[in-house]
Chain A
Amino acid sequence: QSALTQPRSVSGSPGQSVTISCTGTSSDVGRYDYVSWYQQHPGRAPKFIIYDVTKRPSGVPDRFSGTKSGNTASLTISGLQAEDEADYYCSSYGGGYTFVVFGGGTKLTVL
């Protein structure tokens, strides 16, 4: 099962919005609404911020939102803050006995 494709880096200024894409195939992202997103600060464990494409776990600010269109899922962070600077990873269920695959990760820089 191939990894999901994410841009290596994105950037934005405080207060702006940025969107990170996550492209899979018709067998994973396109077929199932089981896309999750994770935020990872340097030296820290990943933190679960979006699940089921659009849902936020308790405690995650509503500045973080997820969508999906076809084989591509997207994470949008609005009202960028310095603390949002981190690496972001997507994951998707691929069906059957295959399991979750991760995207390659996107480094978000807050200018």
Chain B
Amino acid sequence: QVQLQESGPGLVKPSQTLSLTCTVSGGSISSGFHYWSWIRQPAGKGLEYIGRVYSSGSTDYNPSLKSRVTISLDTSKNQFSLNLNSVTAADTAVYFCARVQADNRAYDYWGQGTLVTVSS
């Protein structure tokens, strides 16, 4: 059974960098059959796609966040990471990591989510 688990600070100061890691168990992030994605959800709002990384290391980002986002892989640890810089209160949200099937782009496994609050 594939499991994903987000980890990282729950509180980030404005203008600093939000950094989260997703640890994957039960499957390899190098498989080539999946993308690995970050999605966020502000309180009471819908899901927002942040970006994704493929096993080759290629990435795709939401155009609205592209200038501030980096997603990367660490295959040795079976993890992928999110860095979002120059954060503001608008970046406060629950952040989910998820596995995406490469053939049909369905998000089949999700982490439980982690709340990140941007505040001084």
Contact = CB atoms under 8 A, between A and B. Distances in A.
Interface in A23-62: 34, 36, 38, 44-48, 51-52, 57
B107 A104 contact: no
A64 interface: no
Report which residue of B60, B96, B107, B113 has the largest number of chain A beta carbons within 10 angstroms of its beta carbon. B107
B96 A34 contact: no
Interface stretch (B12-20, B25-33, B43-51, B83-91): B43-51
Interface residues of A, number: 23
Contact of A34 (B60, B104, B112): B104
B46 A36 contact: no
A44 to B, nearest CB: 8
Majority SS at the chain A contact face: loop
A100 B104 CA distance: 10
A46 B110 CA distance: 7
Interface in B76-120: 96, 100-101, 104-113
Given A34-B106, A99-B52, A45 B112 contact: yes
Contacts of A91: 105-107
B105 A102 contact: no
A36 B104 contact: yes
A29 B70 CA distance: 28
Nearest to A48: B108
B103 to A, nearest CB: 9
